[in-house]
Structure 1
Amino acid sequence: MTDPRPLLFFDSGVGGLSVLAPARVLLPNAPVVYVADNGGFPYGTRSEAEIAARVPALLGRLAERYAPRLIVVACNTASTIALAGVRAALDLPIVGTVPAIRPAAAVSRTRVIGVLGTEATVRQPYVDDLSARFAGDCLVLRHGSAALVRLAEAKLAGEATDPADYAAALAGLFGQPGGERIDTIVLACTHFPLVADELAAACPHPVGFVDGGPGIARRIAWLTQGQAWPEQPAPGIAVFTAPILPAPGLRATLAGFGLARIEQLERADRSV
Structure 2
Amino acid sequence: MLIIDSGIGGLSVLNNIKKNFPNINYIYMLDNEGFPYGKKKKKFLIERSIKIINIIKEIYPIKMVIIACNTISTISLPILRKTFNIPIIGILPIFKPAIEITKNKTIGLIATRATVNSSYIKKNIYKYSFQKTIKVIATNELAIIAEKKFRKIFISNVKLREIFQSWTVLSRQPDTIILGCTHFSFLKKEIQKIFYKPINFIDSGETIVNKIKKYSYQKKKKKIFFYALNTKKKYNNYYFF
User: Aligned pair 1:183/2:208, yes or no?
Assistant: no
**TM-score (norm. length: structure 2):** 0.91
The 1:151–1:179 alpha-carbon spacing in structure 2 relative to 1, beyond 3 Å, is: farther
1:24 maps to what in 2?
A: 18
Q: Say yes or no: does 1:74 pair with 2:68.
A: yes
Partner of 1:19, secondary structure, is helix
How far 1:135 sits from its partner (Å)?
5.3
Instruction: Look up the equivalent residue of 2:97 and give its one-letter code.
Output: P
Offset at residue 229 of structure 1 (A): 2.0
The answer to whether structure 1 residue 138 and structure 2 residue 128 are counterparts is no
* SS at structure 2 position matched to 1:191: helix
Relative to structure 1, the CA distance from residue 55 to residue 235 in structure 2 (aligned partners, 3 Å threshold; closer, same or farther) is closer
Is the Cα–Cα contact under 8 Å of residues 2 and 64 in structure 2 kept in the other structure? yes
Deviation at 1:193, TM superposition (A): 0.4
Alignment size in residue pairs? 241
1:246 equivalent to 2:207? Answer no
Alignment of 1:43 with 2:37, yes or no, is: yes
Instruction: Give matches, 1:114-263, under 5 Å.
Output: 114-134=108-128, 136-175=130-169, 180-223=172-215, 225=216, 227-230=217-220, 234-247=222-235, 251-252=236-237, 254=238, 262=239
The alignment yields a C-alpha RMSD, in angstroms, of: 2.0
> Is residue 24–residue 223 contact of structure 2 (8 Å, CA) maintained in 1?
no
| Cα contact 1:36–1:238 (8 A) shared by 2 | yes
Runs of at least 5 residues in structure 2 that lack an aligned partner in the other structure: none
CA distance in 2, matches of 1:215, 1:142: 22
CA distance in 1, matches of 2:79, 2:171: 35
Q: What corresponds to 1:65 in structure 2?
A: 59
- Identity rate, percent: 27
Q: Is there any run of 5+ residues in structure 1 with no aligned partner, and where?
A: 1-6, 255-261, 265-272
TM-aligned CA distance change 1:41 to 1:85, over 3 Å: same
The whole-number CA distance in structure 2 between the counterparts of 1:82 and 1:69 is 19
Check 1:235–1:160 CA distance in 2 against 1; reply closer, same or farther (3 A cut).
farther
- 2 CA distance for matches of 1:179 and 1:147? 25
Amino acid in structure 2 at the alignment position of 1:217: V
Q: Is the contact made by 1:59 and 1:86 (CA closer than 8 Å) also made in structure 2?
A: no
Q: Deviations over 1:202-238 (max 9, x none)?
A: 2243221111122111111221x2x4421x5x34112
